[in-house]
Amino acid sequence: MTDFAPLLQPDRGGPAHPIHLVDKSSFDAWAKRQSPGRRALLEAGRFDGKTGFQFLVMPAEQGPEWEVVSAVAKVDRLSPWCLAKLAEALPAGRYRLAEGDPGPAMLGWLLGQHRFDKYRTLSVSERGDRVLLTREAAGIERTVRLASATAWVRDLVDTPAADLGPAELEAAARDLAGQFGAKIEVTSGKALDEGYPMVAAVGQAAAADRAPRFIELSWGKEGAPLIAIVGKGVCFDSGGLDIKSAGGMRIMKKDMGGAAHALALARLVMEEKLPVRMRLLVPAVENSVSANALRPGDVIASRKGLKVEIDNTDAEGRLILGDALARAGEADPGLIIDFATLTGAARVALGPDLPAMYASDDALAGDLLASARDADDPMWRMPLWDGYDEMLKSGIADLANASDVPMAGSVTAALFLRRFVPDGTAWAHFDIGAWRISAKPGRPKGGDAMGLRAAFAMLCARFGA
């Protein structure tokens, strides 16, 4: 994975190429202060300070060095991504802002230089590091950690399913536990059948080397507030017997994106040394097709004791999360957060970039939305509408895993999960895409983290870091 630490350094006054930031309101005044030669260069380059991610390299006013001018939306409120294009496109070297400090834009500077090139036979030519100098030295370490966590999510999601199955998710969790001295327990085989029957049922059709398992990591000191982080770990989703179309299956390596988010958030919590006890829970499966695959109409048990009728085998993520949420609730945590690439309905409602957030607690929802605004990591609260509970009724079991009403699919999925969360527990559910359908500066097409920085900022605000 990309080493971000060298790319962001304290500014101690050494040589660096200045970056001038302008926006629509400031460009004309800035341009008037430039020499005639530089104004001519701006005109020749059709640089007007108004076009997003527009930049121009110019000779310095004095000496042989050169400078950069770049257009941003607002010079007085930099976004995390306003320097990302520069980090992608500029030559190797050292840079600093001509005025002010980069603040949140440090994140995009780092992620603009992240590449997932594990499978490239011909390596991308090395252009060297683009190093950004900043006087905000106190913010460097956390920014590097956020960039690394985001890149880890991307790398996990982008890895093909052939190379990232339940066993590899377990290995990633074991490595994480080893780094921070956490305790890890993995349940599989007969113990999984007995303890996590919905996880076992979803994964039972997979090959032996891709057998399902339940991963649980514990960290923190006794007596500290307990939080639980849960992630959907469907390493590949064929849809089961309700098989997906070829187009629908094409990027289903991303169906473990919830687990990737949960792993990354757990790492951030441990790196930050938040004063909490944390439990990370990841049910890891592959939803395959074989003679013993889960069938529509089957009724399966759950860890909570509820019996679930299978309406659709492609609604498998909520099944494995149901067992995980039940397990999380048994320890009476003060807070449960889960991440899941759960429904296409959420993408239909909110598009590819905006995660759906459901919360059982208004204060928790408010804290998450405030952190989302502050971190520029957007999300949208969706309703846990009690009236739609009846859509999950079963004629022969306690509930069905999906509704036969072709509406409110994301809401009914969240309502299914709510059945497995203890009453009164503060719980937030993120229905995420974990996938960027087109590239933007600092955010390549493919796997991406959504809601991760906002959730972490909320935890930091709540627990005093």
Quick one: 49 exposed, middle or buried, by C-beta within 10 A (0-12, 13-18, 19+)?
Answer: buried
- The residues carrying an active-site annotation are 244, 318
**Three-class HEC string of the chain:** CCCCHHHEEECCCCCCEEEEEECCCCHHHHHHCCCHHHHHHHHHCCCCCCCCCCEEEEECCCCCCEEEEEECCCCCCCCCCCCHHHHHHCCCEEEEECCCCCCCHHHHHHHCCCCCCCCCCCCCCCCCCEEEEECCHHHHHHHHHHHHHHHHHHHHHHCCHHHCCHHHHHHHHHHHHHHHCCEEEEECHHHHHHHCHHHHHHHCCCCHHHCCEEEEEEECCCCCCEEEEEECEEEEECCCCCCCCHHHHCCHHHHHHHHHHHHHHHHHHHHHCCCCEEEEEEEEEEECCCCCCCCCCCEECCCCCCCEECCCCCCCHHHHHHHHHHHHHHCCCCEEEEEECCCHHHHHHHCCCCCEEEECCHHHHHHHHHHHHHHCCCCEECCCCHHHHHHHCCCCCCEECCCCCCCCHHHHHHHHHHCCCCCCCEEEEEECCCEECCCECCECCEECCCCHHHHHHHHHHHCCC
What is the bridge-based pairing of β-strands 130-134 and 93-97? parallel
CA distances from 45 to 20, 25, 272 (A): 16, 19, 45
